[in-house]
Chains A and B, each alone.
Chain A
Amino acid sequence: MIKVLFSSLLLFCSFLGLSQFDEGVDAYKNKRYKQAQIYFLKALEKEKTADLYYNVGLTYFQENNYVAALAHFEHSIKIDPHFEAAMINAGLTQDKIEADAIWSHPYTWVERFIYSVSSKYWIIAIYTCSILLAIALFLLLTSKKRRKLYLLIALTTVFVIPLSFYGLNELEKHINVKEYCYSKSKTTTLLLSPNGLEQPDKMEYGKRYAINKQSDNFFQIETEKKRLFWVEKEDVYYY
């Protein structure tokens, strides 16, 4: 809400050549955590980097809003699945939410590998393999020498191309789709359908829920009992 309170100051800073990121760091170091948060959130409107989400998470942590902090640390992990500092802080934040609770990485090892490779590298792999396969096919059809080598190249690329497509597709899905959410309060109501009948159960505070589907203003989440309910987007931190 107070995210853009410092808009004029931000403008002034931009004239001075100071980025909102630097301003946020400066405010954080001076223990002006709310201001720092606003600077970082403002900077996030321009570019969504793992570092920015991480710093926002720290400001929430300092404000004792641990669930928001955890959601932001995990958001930074979403962008960089091997972000060690964010993982450590997520673990510490989880412990603040529930003593002795063990934080688990939101993604499996395979997913972490896929998400850590930039989409441009997946595209380069696809192009390289596509060209190699084309050359191998050409040579297989026209040449009578070294046919085994060309066949090996063709088979390798035939294996790598679908793998790269899978990686690229998963990465795109990962970036575009909201995957997890945390309740903002202890009273977030579960709904049977978007804007539908309220359920007696509430969303568990501090617990990570996987998002199954999403509509304009609602997310469908899966509970521990594998039941699907809807929650309002504005009631949750999501990434």
Chain B
Amino acid sequence: MVINLRHIVYLVLAFVGVYVNAQNSFVSLEVSPLEVEVGAPVTILIKTDADGALDFDLPDEFTRAGGTQSGMSSSIDYAAKTAIQFSYQKIVGYFEEDGKYTIGPVEIKSSNGVLKSESYQIKVSEPINLISADPSKNLDQAIFGIIEQSKREIYEGEPVVLSAKTYSQVNLVDDQKIYTPFEFDGPAEKYTLQSNAPNRINKEKINGREVISFSVGKTLYYPEKPGKYTVQPFQLSLLYEDPNRLSLQRAQIKSNKTSLIVKALPSGMPKSFIGAVGNFNISSTSETNRLKKGEVFELIITISGKGNLHNIEKPTLKLPKGLIVYGDPIVKDSIVFSSEGASGAIQLTYNIQAIKADKYTIEPIEISFFDTKSETYKTVRSKRLGVKVLGEKGINIKENKKSKPNKQSTPLKTILVNNTRPAQEQNTFYNTPLFWSTTTAPLALGLIFGLFFRYRDENKEQIAENSKKKSAKKIAQQQLEIAATALTNEDSETFYLTIEKSIKTLLARKTGTVETEITRKTIKTLSNQNRISSKNSNVLNSILDQCDQARYGFEGTQELKADILDRTKVVLDELDKELKI
């Protein structure tokens, strides 16, 4: 057979086609999370678009839970502008023992060769010990719940794990649970953790009785303020097999409450304290130790550890003169929240420009944190770094260092050094009875006084007349007192005059006339009008007659005068009453 150039081209094309096809096929493995506790769920996802024999083994300590989910799916690769169809298999399970396990690689032996995925190492730790109220006290209930917690007392910045544990003395139907979580009664950051894998039910012996238990709602809390806090109960609605009945029954349980004391950090915190609580370390590296004047190099500071890593602040970077920080540091973090808190590392990349040729030493960067185990502040330092800057000119900034765009024409307004603005305060006076009474009082007073004065002005005469009527008896009595004095002094003329005057004054004031108009005729008219009784009319006439007789003739004895005085007093009292009506 003759092999010419054409055959060679076909062979090359065929080879390239096969090669390209082989490149397109893939197998990938995803494992999540990479740090778990014994019994906590782990998800393993295998994706591939290749056909062939699958070679993948799971560690013996791994127990599948909740079944394996398989199917087809598709995704779009925008970079390659292609749609990829692939099949997947999702496995959920948990590890029975602590340790480090390797998962993967997944191998597929296809017609195009062997495809291999990456492998992962998973760290499985013993679950942290959670404390709770004594479950044996609830054994009178078929199903009951207790809130578990990692600690009863913590320092501020320290995490606490809370979990809802349910105990049952009857068989439960797993898929029918409705869980209402517990609530931490205070300001706190909250991170949901993986609880035990589905269907993972433990058997425990409490006071010799066998009970089953399971946990849900494992949550990591970072309380924000010191104080004593309450964790409100969780609720769970679940189906159970009632041994006395044929059908399933639904139970609604409510757990206990629990409390947590958050203590303030002790005094004496170092200047380099960065708000970290837990256990931390710091390291630093320089991109280079030799560069030219004007060049920029990267100084990478890595803070790693466990605790409240997500909440720490940046350490203070002290640079020698001649080195300046160029822009803000680039922050990269890889933080995982687990029962032990936030763990991982935060990497701060500073771009540092050398503006002067010299030999520099970057002093160790120091951070302090509060160690909850020893209950003391600890300080850690990075290593000392040396950088030599050469004096050659011409190179300024690395091209890959993008200058920070200054989009805003107005710069950020800086800090206020005086707290002068008034505080936001609720006005406690507003809407109080005092406020409303003092607001409405002037209006009411203005209205009342205004109406009163107006009434007084409009009824001036009437008021004066009423006043006259009211004072009639008083004036008549004053005149009777003068008459009594005249009687004592045996002054007959004054006596009879004041007696007569007292009668006329009373009648004139009571009837709204003047004294000169009061005659026997007036008295008769008043009697006819039934304003005074005929008896009093007669008495009055009799007194007036006696006064006339005395004035013009018979003076009368002292006894007679005394009798006239008494009768006048009585009749004036009665007239006052009669003319009031």
Q: Which residues of A are in contact with B by a Cβ distance under 8 Å?
A: 1-9, 11-12, 19, 21, 25, 28-35, 38, 43, 47-52, 54-55, 58, 61, 63-64, 78-80, 83-86, 88-89, 91-92, 95, 99, 118-120, 123, 126-127, 130-131, 133-142, 168, 171-172, 175-176, 195, 217, 234
Contact = CB atoms under 8 A, between A and B. Distances in A.
Task: Please name the 7 residue pairs, one residue from A and one from B, whose CB atoms are nearest each other, closest first.
Answer: A8-B267, A134-B446, A141-B450, A34-B313, A85-B413, A134-B442, A119-B427
B271 to A, nearest CB: 9
B188 interface: yes
Interface in B367-381: none
B264 A130 contact: no
8 contacts: A5-B264, A25-B416, A32-B316, A35-B313, A79-B421, A141-B453, A142-B454, A172-B430
A123 B226 contact: no
B407 A95 contact: yes
Contacts of A31: 316
B391 interface: no
B418 interface: yes
Interface stretch (B351-359, B431-439, B490-498): B431-439
B457 A61 contact: no
Given A85-B413, A88-B413, A142-B453, A172 B426 contact: yes
A51 B416 contact: yes
B145 interface: no
A63 B313 contact: yes
A197 B224 CA distance: 27
Contacts of B464: none
A29 B415 contact: yes
Contact of A133 (B311, B328, B446): B446
B311 A141 contact: no
Interface string B300-342: 0000000010011110100000000000100100000000000
B429 A123 contact: yes
Given A1-B311, A2-B157, A127-B438, A54 B446 contact: no
Interface in B171-193: 180, 183, 187-190
Contact of A5 (B157, B422, B423): B157
A127 B450 CA distance: 19
B222 interface: yes
Interface string B256-274: 0000000011111100011
A100 to B, nearest CB: 8
Nearest to A50: B421
A54 B418 CA distance: 12
A2 B311 contact: yes
Contacts of B275: 2, 5, 34-35, 38
Contacts of A140: 450
Interface residues on B, range: 35 or more
Given A8-B267, A95-B407, A123-B429, A133 B156 contact: no
B2 interface: no
Contact of A175 (B424, B451, B454, B457): B424
Interface string B132-173: 000000000000000000000000110000000000000000
B20 interface: no
Contacts of A52: 419
Contact of A138 (B157, B328, B410, B449): B449
A5 B265 contact: yes
Contact of A3 (B224, B412, B419, B426): B224
A194 B267 CA distance: 40
Given A47-B423, A137-B450, A175-B426, A2 B308 contact: yes
Given A50-B421, A51-B418, A217-B183, A130 B224 contact: no
Contact of B157 (A1, A64, A130, A134): A1
A142 B455 CA distance: 9
Given A4-B264, A25-B415, A130 B439 contact: yes
Contact of B189 (A1, A21, A133, A176): A1
A147 B516 CA distance: 45
Interface string B215-235: 000000011111000000000
Contacts of A43: 419
Interface in B270-297: 273-275, 277
Nearest to B420: A51
A35 B328 CA distance: 19
Contact of B269 (A9, A51, A80): A9
Given A126-B439, A131-B442, A172-B427, A51 B421 contact: yes
B418 to A, nearest CB: 7
B313 A172 contact: no
B439 A168 contact: no
B414 to A, nearest CB: 8
A7 B264 CA distance: 7
Nearest to B453: A142
A58 B408 contact: no
B313 to A, nearest CB: 3
A140 B420 CA distance: 46
B417 interface: yes
B222 A1 contact: yes
Contacts of A119: 427, 430
B440 interface: yes
Given A34-B275, A123-B430, A138 B421 contact: no
B457 to A, nearest CB: 7
Given A5-B265, A49-B419, A80-B421, A120 B453 contact: no
A63 B427 CA distance: 35
Contacts of A217: 183
Contacts of B277: 2
B457 A142 contact: yes
Interface string B22-39: 000000000000000000
B408 to A, nearest CB: 5
Contacts of A86: 413
A126 B429 CA distance: 13
A3 B457 CA distance: 72
Given A130-B443, A176-B426, A1 B419 contact: no
Nearest to A48: B424
